[in-house]
Amino acid sequence: MKNLNRRHFLRLTAAGSAGLFIPSKLPAVTSRTGRPETEKINMEYRTLGRTGIKVPVLSMGVMRADNPNLVKAAMRSGIVHFDTAHGYQEGKNELMLGKIFKDMPRESFVVATKIKVSARGGTFGKEAPEEFMEKFNISMQRLGLDYVDILYFHAIDSREATLYEPVLKVMQDLKKQGRTKNIGVSTHSNEPEVINAAVDSGVYDVVLTSYNFKQKHLPELNAAIDRAADAGLGVVAMKTMAGAKDINIPAALKWVFQNKNIHTAIPGFTAFDELDVCLACATNPQLTGDEKNYLAQADTAPSLYCQQCNSCTTQCVKHLPIPDLMRAYMYNYGYRYPAKAKTLVAELNLSGNPCASCTSCEVKCTNGFAVAEKVRDIARIAAVPQEFLA
Amino acid sequence: MKQLFYFFFLLPAVTVAAQTPAQLRACLPEVEGWTIAGKVESFTPENLYDRINGAADAFLSCNFAEMTQLSYNRINSDAYITIQCYRHDTPPDAYCIYAGERFPDAEFLDIGAEGYREPQMLNFLSGSVYVKMETHDKSAEANEALEKIARTLAAKIDAASTLPALLQRLPEANKVERSELYVSQSFLAHKFLHSAYMAQYRENGNEYRRFIIDAGTPDAAKQMIREYLAFAKQDAAPEEKELIVINDRYNGRVDVTWDGQYIIGRTYE
């Protein structure tokens, strides 16, 4: 771990200056609406479970922000909770926050960071506790703080990992030492299992979970969130925009705010107008009629791409590998990667339009896809010379 | 006929050469004492979170297309080398994330468009692919293996790879070495400024940044400056090559001018 130390120490001392631009003070400025920027927006506050920390429903996921002026604008607007991670931007994210926090009263902000440890084949190595501790120390140096408010065991996707004793012990020791006020677990997949394990552990104070209206397992996830909140854990929502570029941001964010057991959300806005939109949602979280309609339609509208549920595989009279073809369709039309689509289609050894001899299609896609149409569209790519695709 | 195919199969994608995961694996060299692992993992924008979690957001904002993960295993040892090849839509997009993550105090290497080494890791940029290699093996042999793999892979991904040409328009005098960045969207956190190349400068104890935006056309450049002036509530009729001082309520003073399709400027905060 000495090498890790040296590498990150160097980054702390010299490298942080590159790419970051940190003003020395917060300028007193006026917003486009005419209100002073220092005026706090009136947002609903909720308590992060037994941590006792009161935060607005809107917090900031800093992961994509590379402009400290955006973080400062968020602070001036009343956002107090900032979420980063050891690995974001190879540490520059924590460095940026550290420089902003430097001149601010410690009690004026709540900061959470997240640490992931290496695993191979889903199993942590024997060096995991040491690695966790090493990364934590580096994160604290970058942030320039004596303590963080929440320290997450990051990117956990199973009960076993949630309860991994060697790392849990390190986190508990750090809490006893006052270097973190609270400990938590973050999860992007298999969230219900992780949240339930966090509750069962009796150790975790906070869970940070993916949460958006597009998730397929919302009943299980909501049940786990309710259980966590009832048990006194703070619940923080991330991935609130479902990872989509063309999403209705107010509808998606307000949908999250409707769940009172979500104590705050950390959307990762990267522009001032996005911040304004998020603030407007937090100020007035009631869904409008249009937003309710959008959410209702999204609930019933087919997904843009195949969900690989495989329900169709027994329906096609020609036994076509429809999920594979739909994956190729996604590569071509979704990811704009025709070479990969062609490779996949070629591996399937289909000839021309495999649906050509059928007069009707027996396949009833659970997402409502016109399967025959999409098969026809994508099967053509097999005939396109590779030179046109590369 | 060729144009017809482009229309059918999405022009923006087909103009970018890209190796499939299998092709990338085939690019890997034989390294004595190491075996190439059979497992090849591939991640798309949909599931990059599964592998790198919240760090995925930064890659996605740089138009990430696909990540292929490959690895070598050391013979008679549990040591391994992990290679993550992040393919982006264009070489500037790959530079966006590469430059955002690099640290200027590293040992830089002439690999691909640029590469650098730190203990137990080696990262480089080649064409539209940003490659990150890492090992827990601290031996000299592992270090040598990293470099051999990197040199071979970089040449096979894009032998002619260079850093983005627009970087050359940023003046060299007083520039902080390797402080250049490419912001692919919402430069200065303003959507209307979209993307920009920028670098940090240090002069007489003062720091500032220069930037250059390729607006595409002179009219688009002029329109972008008009939008910026409107945002700042400043009345002005901008003229080409005229210095315009914008009082940005979030970013402080921003000096801009436009020259043809390019907007160049400075920020101070």
- Of A189, A241, A330, A335, which to mutate for an interface test with B (greatest number of B Cβ within 10 Å)? A335
Which amino acid makes up residue A286? Q
| Nearest of A266, A216, A259 to residue A239 by alpha carbon | A266
Using one digit for the tens of pLDDT, what is the confidence trace for A193-241?
999 999 999 999 999 999 999 887 888 999 999 999 999 999 999 989 8
Q: What local confidence, expressed as pLDDT, does residue A267 receive?
A: 94
Name the residue in chain A with its Cα closest to that of B53: A155
Q: What CATH number has the domain spanning B11-157?
A: 3.40.1000
pLDDT for res B71: 95
A chain contacts of residue B100, beta-carbon cutoff 8 Å: 19, 66, 89, 92
H or E stretch covering A369: none
The residue of B3, B40, B57, B120 whose CB has the most chain A CBs within 10 angstroms, and thus the best one to mutate to test that interface, is B57
Q: Does A303 touch chain B (CB under 8 A)?
A: no
% chain B with pLDDT above 70: 93
The residue-averaged pLDDT of A39-43 equals 74
CB contacts < 8 A, A to B, total 180
pLDDT digits (tens, 9 = 90+) for B12-60: 333 335 678 888 998 999 999 999 998 899 999 888 887 887 778 889 8
How far apart CA A308 and CA A306 sit, in angstroms, is 5
Residue B162 has which token pair?
């260079």
Q: What is the pLDDT of residue A358?
A: 85
| pLDDT greater than 60 at residue B116 | yes
Nearest CA in chain A to B65: A335
- Euclidean distance between CA atoms A120 and A122, whole angstroms: 5
Q: What is the mean pLDDT of chain A?
A: 83
User: CB–CB of A341/A328 below 8 Å?
Assistant: yes
pLDDT tens digits for A130-157? 999 999 999 999 999 999 999 999 989 8
Assess B17–A contact: CB distance below 8 Å, yes or no.
Answer: yes
Asked whether A56 and A77 are in contact (CB, 8 A), the reply is no
Distance from the Cα of A343 to chain B's closest Cα (Å) equals 8
Partnered with residue B121 across adjacent β-strands are B118, B134
Span A102-122, mean pLDDT? 90
pLDDT given for residue B15 in this prediction: 37
Substitution target in B9, B134, B210 with the highest count of A β-carbons within 10 Å is B9
Q: What is the C-alpha to C-alpha distance for residues B93 and B59, in angstroms, rounded to an integer?
A: 9
Question: Taking CB atoms and an 8 Å limit, are A3 and B191 in contact across chains?
Answer: no
> Using the beta-carbon criterion (under 8 Å), do B18 and A337 form an inter-chain contact?
yes
Q: What is the pLDDT of residues A153-190, one digit of tens each?
A: 998 989 999 999 999 999 999 999 999 999 999 998 88
Residue among B101, B250, B252 minimizing CB distance to A272? B250
Distance from CA of A211 to the nearest CA of B (A): 14
Least confident span in A178-187, A328-337, A359-368: A328-337
Query: In angstroms, rounded to a whole number, what is the distance separating the alpha carbons of residues A114 and A102?
Result: 20
Report, as an integer, the average pLDDT of A76-90: 92
Burial profile A126-137: b = 16 or more Cβ within 10 angstroms, e = fewer:
eebbebbbbbbe
pLDDT score recorded for residue A203? 96
Region B158-170: what's the mean pLDDT? 95
Question: For chain A, first and last CA: distance in Å?
Answer: 43
| Centroid of chain to Cα B94 | 4
How confident is the model at residue B238, as a pLDDT?
83
Q: Measured between alpha carbons, how far is A341 from A381 in angstroms, rounded to an integer?
A: 8
Average pLDDT over residues A94-113: 95
Nearest CA in chain B to A271: B189
Residue A39 confidence class, pLDDT cut points 50, 70, 90: low
In tens, the pLDDT along A296-311 reads 887 654 555 565 566 7
pLDDT in tens, A251-309: 999 999 999 999 999 998 989 999 999 999 999 999 999 999 999 887 654 555 565 56
Q: Which domains does chain A have, with CATH numbers?
A: 2-296 (3.20.20.100), 311-388 (no CATH)
Which residues are A187's β-sheet partners? A209
pLDDT at A336 over 60: no
Q: Please report the pLDDT score of residue A276 as a whole number.
A: 94
- Longest Cα–Cα distance in chain B: 72
pLDDT of residue A379: 85
Report how far residue B118's alpha carbon sits from residue B259's, in angstroms, rounded to the nearest whole number.
Answer: 40
Q: What is the per-residue pLDDT for A4?
A: 45
B214-266 per-position pLDDT tens digit? 999 999 999 999 999 999 999 888 889 999 999 999 999 999 999 999 999 99
How many helices (H) and strands (E) in chain A?
14, 12
Is the complex ipTM more than 0.85? no
Contact yes or no for B209/B198 (Cβ under 8 A)? yes
Give me the residue from A186, A272, A338 closest to B189, CB to CB.
Answer: A272
Question: Once rounded to an integer, what is the mean pLDDT over residues B74-98?
Answer: 94
* Whether residue B163 has pLDDT greater than 60: yes
